[in-house]
Amino acid sequence: MRKSSSSYALSRFIMNRGLARFIGDVFDLFADNALFFGIVGIVCFLFGPSLLVLLERKERLPRAVVWLSTFFLTPIIMIFLLFVANPQTYCNDPLPHEAFRLFYPLFLPLIPLYIHYARAEHLNHPFQFGLILVMLSLGVFSLTIGYEIFHLAYQSVQGHGVVYSGARAWECAYLNSASEISARGTVGTATLVFLAVQVLVLIAVRRMKHRQSEPQGTPSSDAGVEA
């Protein structure tokens, strides 16, 4: 009994060690080819939603492509956008207005998928498309509206905006820690509200579309039922 439990623990240890090594190798692969994977991610973000819509309308969208986009490419793009929204630099300064407002056009590549999701009579992959919209919108929201909320909340608590130069001898911005924590808490709450509202709206839109596509009963049949 003791021997079997020891062998089981050893196998679990080897499996976990192998999994950790695999994850480490994947991260090393991304780190060694950051430029290549960055270009691939940008291309997928800019043209991926429109390509999904085009193939879906022509009924030539393979299921493997949908699952790959939903559970591999889209999460990686979302994580990348979140990393850009929370820069891991020496100072970890929040992005200034002139920086994060450049990212508002990133909402544009999502518009074709939003329109298709709302107007299509039938969707072959409603869950996957909805998940893609939620994840990509979360990343863009964090880069744009999230920063708007952060700066407004910080200014309302601190009394002035973030000071990026002139306040310290080094290059880091001056941030009051209490005001920053309060502002980031406000951003977190707004992000959760955004996610909840978006999910509810997407579900409501598809239910409404499904009800509209249901065949309506003829007057004669209705009269027969009433009789």
Residue 221 maps to a domain:
no
Assigned domain for 25 exists: no
8 occurs within a structural domain: no
Residue at 20 is within a domain: no
| Contact (Cβ atoms closer than 8 angstroms) between residue 22 and residue 14 | no
Q: Break the chain down into helix, strand, coil percent, rounded to 5.
A: 80, 0, 20
- Residue 5's pLDDT is 57
Domain hosting residue 92, numbered range:
33-213
Residue 19 domain-assigned (yes or no): no
Domain membership of residue 227 (yes or no) is no
For 4, 89, 107, 196, the CA distances from 144, given in Å and listed in that order, are 56, 19, 10, 18
- Residue 140 pLDDT > 90: yes
How many folded domains does the chain comprise? Answer: 1
What integer pLDDT is reported at residue 8 of this predicted model?
54
Q: For the chain, what is the largest distance between any 2 Cα atoms, rounded to a whole number of angstroms?
A: 87
Residue 182, domain member (yes or no): yes
- Using a CB cutoff of 8 Å and minimum separation of 24, what contacts does 200-208 make? 202/117, 202/130, 202/133, 202/134, 203/130, 205/117, 205/118, 206/117, 206/123, 206/126, 206/130
24 in any annotated domain: no
Lowest mean pLDDT among 86-90, 158-162, 196-200: 86-90
DSSP 8-state code for residue 220? H
Tens-place pLDDT, residues 103-119: 999 999 999 999 999 99
Binning pLDDT at 50, 70 and 90, where does residue 209 land? confident
Q: Which residues contact 118 (CB under 8 A, 6 or more apart)?
A: 205, 209
d(CA 82, CA 60): 32
Q: Which residue has the higher pLDDT, 212 or 152?
A: 152
- Contact (Cβ atoms closer than 8 angstroms) between residue 79 and residue 135: no
**Looking at the predicted structure, is the pLDDT value of residue 218 above 50?**
no
